[in-house]
Structure 1
Amino acid sequence: MSRMPRRVKYRKSQRRRIRGNATRGNKVVLGEFGLQSTQAGYIKAATIEAGRIAAQQYVRGIGRLFIRMFPQKSVTSRPLETRMGKGKGEVDYWAAVVKPGTVLYELSGVTEEQARICLARVAHKMPVRCRFVRKRPDLVTTAESK
């Protein structure tokens, strides 16, 4: 089932240029291993679902998959062979805006070798370049060290 928001304030959104690196959602939090984007782009809701199915088929109940992106941007299109004018087209699909550094999927409960194979299958379906990342141990803060 394709993901989309329950309700939005405005049905049609404008395209914006995707600038900068991800400052939020750029660390592995929920799982032990993650798939991180190295490029900016839009990922369709159907593509997110295809990645989820590819991972679930490989994991088969031994691990847990977390999806860290949500398609909240509407992308519109006009019918083919339509003349100019007559306004903006209808919503064609929903997409997630992804910046470089965004963690797309996370896995837990599997070995590193299994996670690499599983996330490589998912990365093959993504329209942006991705890399495998591991959860980093929390850095000791200055308050805890005193």
Structure 2
Amino acid sequence: MLSPKKTKYRKAHKGRIGGIQANGGVLHFGTYGIMAEEPARITARQIEACRIAISRKMRRIGKLWIRIFPDIPVSAKPAEVRMGKGKGSVEYWMCRVKAGKVLFEIDGVPAELARTALEAGASKLPISIKQITVEKKERREV
């Protein structure tokens, strides 16, 4: 699963997610992609489940890009522990996703296969998504 090798701080505040993504709403690498329609917190497990679902549908042809990374630690205290005594230990990693952020991109597969693969991946995520595509003539070269 995805997690950072090193962080500046061990634990983070919960934070708020609001607004629309200023950048990251355009396909840079692939021809097809999925975009978040609402803000949410997405865990490393959900990203991994989505990646596996997409790559299984694609049958290892084409290429897949993951445009999000879980870099925020989420801490939790054990069950039935009294209040106080500090913040709990890090349980998992997540990333904050704003509306309009491209989550996954794929390329090198037919349009129908790309659509079904992205639907399979989107079913693993806790948010509503929108499938986006770019024509070859409009595609931005990186």
The runs of at least 4 consecutive aligned structure 1 residues that moved more than 2 Å come to none
Task: Indicate the percent of aligned positions where both proteins have the same amino acid.
Answer: 40
The farther-off stretch of 129-138 and 75-84 is: 129-138
CA drift at 1:100: 0.3
Equivalent position of 2:103 in the other structure: 104
Q: Please give the secondary structure, in 2, of the residue aligned with 1:47.
A: helix
Residue 53 (str. 1) matches residue 19 (str. 2): no
- How many residue pairs match? The answer is 138
Amino acid at match of 2:129: C
TM superposition shift of 1:96: 1.3
TM-score (norm 2): 0.93
SS at match of 2:112: helix
- Distance in 1, Cα, partners of 2:89 & 2:26: 35
Rounded to whole Å, the distance in 2 between the matches of 1:79 and 1:37 is: 32
Q: Which residue of 1 aligns with 2:30?
A: 31
Find the residue that maps to 2:19 and give its secondary structure.
coil
One-letter code aligned to 2:47: I
Residue aligning to 2:40: 41
The aligned residue for residue 112 of structure 2 is 113
Q: CA deviation at 1:138?
A: 5.8
* Structure 2: 5+ residue stretches without partners: none
- Paired with 2:82 and 2:54, the residues of 1 have a C-alpha distance of 42
Give the alignment's TM-score, normalised by structure 1: 0.91
Residues 1-146 of structure 1 aligned to structure 2 (within 5 Å): 2-135=1-134, 137=138
Task: Report the 3-state secondary structure (helix = DSSP H, G, I; strand = E; otherwise coil) of the residue aligned with 1:74.
Answer: strand
State which structure, 1 or 2, has the greater radius of gyration over its C-alpha atoms. 1
CA contact (8 A) 1:35 1:119 kept: yes
Counterpart residue type for residue 56 of structure 2? Q
Counterpart CA distance in 1 for 2:32 and 2:139 is 15
Report the alpha carbon displacement of residue 51 of structure 1 after superposing the two structures with TM. Answer: 0.7
Deviation at 1:61, TM superposition (A): 2.4
Give, in whole Å, the separation in 1 of the partners of 2:133 and 2:57.
Answer: 19
Return 5+ residue gaps in structure 1 as ranges: 140-146
